[in-house]
Amino acid sequence: MARRLLLVDDEPYVGLVLQPRLEAVGFDVILARTLADARAALSDSLPDALLLDLHLPDGSGVDLLRELRRQAAGAALPVVVLTAEGEDRVLAELRRLGAAVLTKPFSPSKLTAQLAEMLGDSDAAETAP
């Protein structure tokens, strides 16, 4: 059974590049381009993992991450933040909230390895494209 992954990024290119790679290693990818879309997707049911951009057209991914961490169900959700943000204060806050951080540009194979590690799936990390 495929693991569900919510990818929240306003750049269509990110979805076009990552979705086939993530599907190739067993993820069912749900795309959201805004915080509103992400909140709607999360209200249906929590995915197995979340990929989150920080700068979205209707707000900050940090706000969504804080909301998730306040909920019992979202407290342990594996989250990887994809960002061009380099400010130490922001990066420290993300790590305090339990998110892994990959700075753009990043290698898709590094992303799949990070997800595999967070989900305890070493086989996926070894077969990542």
Give per-residue pLDDT as tens, 63-91: 999 999 999 889 999 999 998 877 788 88
pTM: 0.89
Query: Cα separation of 70 and 98, whole Å?
Result: 12
Identify the pLDDT of residue 117: 92
pLDDT tens digit string along 91-126? Answer: 899 999 999 999 888 888 899 999 999 998 754 444
DSSP class of residue 75? T
Fold of 3-127: Rossmann fold (3.40.50)
d(CA 114, CA 109): 9
Q: Where along the chain do its domains lie? A: 3-127
